[in-house]
Amino acid sequence: VIPEARRPGLLAGFKDLRKMVGLLRQPRTAANEPASTFSIDTVTRSLNS
């Protein structure tokens, strides 16, 4: 349960967040990969001595 005193601030933050996520929607093709597509090299390199 969110304490009463925190609700107005959270609501204001939520409204800001919804504005921000609106800005993220840009025209793109389905083939546009995200920046976080990982490289197998980086996630396995600690196994290579």
Residues that bind other proteins (CB under 8 A): 2-3, 5-6, 8-10, 12-14, 16-17, 19-21, 23-26, 28, 32-36, 42-43, 45-46, 48
Q: Is the dihedral of CA 43, 44, 47, 49 positive or negative?
A: negative
Closest distance between other proteins and the C-beta of residue 7, in Å? Answer: 9
Closest distance between other proteins and the C-beta of residue 22, in Å? Answer: 8
Helices (H), 1-49: 7-23, 40-44
Closest distance between other proteins and the C-beta of residue 33, in Å? Answer: 8
Nearest to residue 10, comparing CAs of 20, 18, 2, 1?
A: 2
